[in-house]
Amino acid sequence: MAVGIFAGIPVRDYQSALDWYRRLWGAEPAFYPNEIEAVWQLAEDRYVYIIEAPERAGGAVGMVWVDDLEAEVARIAERGLKPVDVEKHGSVWKYVFHDADGNETGIGGEVSHRE
């Protein structure tokens, strides 16, 4: 079975969220369905989008698994974003990022070192 995803993140302020998610993903959105949504393609058939929906903002939780966790988190830091937490489960770590509304995006994967 082939699997794809189209996951939404409700935000209060579309313009400020657009800037934050550009820095998180390191790219411009793949497309804009309308004036209150922006969509990033993370991989084939795997999309994340923001939508201005103040009444629902702040409750999203998601994680993106990457092959080179340390490098990806370093790239995100170069764009000015720092994780608010790091969850460590043996060789699997998740760096937790929160947008201005409190939506949580984890960047996770296996690490080459352990603490």
The residue assigned the tokens 């092959």 is 67
Closest to 54 in 3D by CA, of 101, 98, 89, 93 = 101
> Looking at residue 31, which CATH number applies to its domain?
3.10.180.10
Range of the domain at 81: 5-110
Residue 22 lies inside a defined structural domain of this protein = yes
The side-by-side arrangement of strands in the sheet containing 5-11 is: 5-11, 46-52, 37-43, 31-34
Q: Within a domain: residue 54?
A: yes
Mean pLDDT value of segment 2-22:
97
Percent of the chain with pLDDT over 90: 94
Residue 115 falls within a domain, yes or no?
Answer: no
Domain membership flag for residue 105: yes
Q: Can you give the pTM of this predicted structure?
A: 0.93
Q: What is the pLDDT of residues 66-108, one digit of tens each?
A: 999 999 999 999 999 999 999 999 999 999 999 999 999 999 9
User: What is the count of structural domains for the chain?
Assistant: 1
pLDDT-based confidence at residue 112 (cuts at 50, 70, 90): confident
